[in-house]
Amino acid sequence: MTTLFIADLHLSDQRPEITKLFTKFLQNEARQCRALYILGDLFEAWLGDDCILPAYQEIILQIKELTASNIPVYFIHGNRDFLIGSRFAELTGCQLLDETTIINIDEQQYLILHGDTLCTDDVKYQQFRSMVRNPEWQEQLLAKTPAERIALAKQYREISQTETAEKADDIMDVNQQEVESALRNANVNTMIHGHTHRPNIHTFELDGKQAQRIVLGDWYKHGSALKLENGEFELQIIS
């Protein structure tokens, strides 16, 4: 059977057509797979399990319907939805995974992650990531009112857009040495990630063996999914 991987949907009330497309995906393609892996940035912003935006309610229900039909859904946090917690898992039936996880499918092992930790050339982003992943910072944020959190998220997003526009493309891509180090540490030859919005299947040599880095596409102009079946990968457009 098919295993599906997706990332970087960035669902929000600003892009209802993508929410509709994802709902269709959950009701069709996802119903035919044996497992669905969501590798981060499912939402444009997640401000805490106690502050679920109205635009997300239907998606939560649709994921719950999928897991209730005995199709497991696994979730890895992205850089936009790192505050997703146990309440979200309870509402959707998703299983939350560590930010770097090794999975075994048909006796083959794969390293899966969101991908932002691989972009080590973007020093400014890594500093920001370190700040927002700090438990004390998160505790302070979650102590704020929903309105305060929304305003802060908007402020950070505006700053991010300005800084991104000024950065060179190669800085925002993964660092190859970091990729190779992650594969060695995991003792696997294939990595699957999102974050960079640059869908592709990269093949290279690592310690005398063939290795792969598979990058998931985003859901902006259309949907994107990685299909794994019988040990073969295929990047697919969802429309």
Is residue 167 predicted with pLDDT exceeding 80?
Answer: no
What is residue 164's predicted lDDT score, i.e. its pLDDT? 73
What is residue 154's predicted lDDT score, i.e. its pLDDT? 85
Q: How far is CA 154 from the centre of its chain?
A: 20
pLDDT > 90 in the chain, percent: 85
Tell me what the pLDDT averaged over the chain comes to. Answer: 94
The CATH fold assigned to 2-238 is: Purple Acid Phosphatase; chain A, domain 2 (3.60.21)
Which phi-psi region, left, alpha or beta, contains residue 210 (left: φ > 0; alpha: ψ -120 to 50)?
Answer: beta
Q: Provide the CB-side half-sphere exposure for 68 (13 A, CA).
A: 10
Give pLDDT tens digits for 41-63: 999 999 999 999 888 999 999 99
The one-letter amino acid code at 125 reads: Y
Extract the tokens encoding 90: 């309870």
Using pLDDT thresholds of 50, 70 and 90, give the confidence band for residue 166: low
Give pLDDT tens digits for 171-196: 789 999 999 999 999 999 999 999 99
Dist CA 16 CA 89 (whole Å): 23
Give pLDDT tens digits for 12-25: 999 999 999 999 99
Write phi, then psi, for 83 (nearest 5 degrees): -90, 0
| Non-local CB neighbours of 91 within 8 Å, separated by 6+ positions | 60, 64
Is residue 135 predicted with pLDDT exceeding 80?
Answer: yes
pTM exceeding 0.75: yes
Give pLDDT tens digits for 65-87: 999 999 999 999 999 999 999 99
SS (H, E, C) the chain: CEEEEECCCCECCCCHHHHHHHHHHHHCHHHHEEEEEECCCCECCCCCCCCCCHHHHHHHHHHHHHHHCCCCEEECCCCCCCCCCHHHHHHHCCEECCCEEEEEECCEEEEEECCHHHCCCCHHHHHHHHHHCCHHHHHHHHCCCHHHHHHHHHHHHHHHHHHHHHCCHHHHCCCHHHHHHHHHHHCCCEEEECCCCCCEEEEEEECCEEEEEEECCCCCCCEEEEEEECCEEEEEEEC
Dist CA 204 CA 194 (whole Å): 18
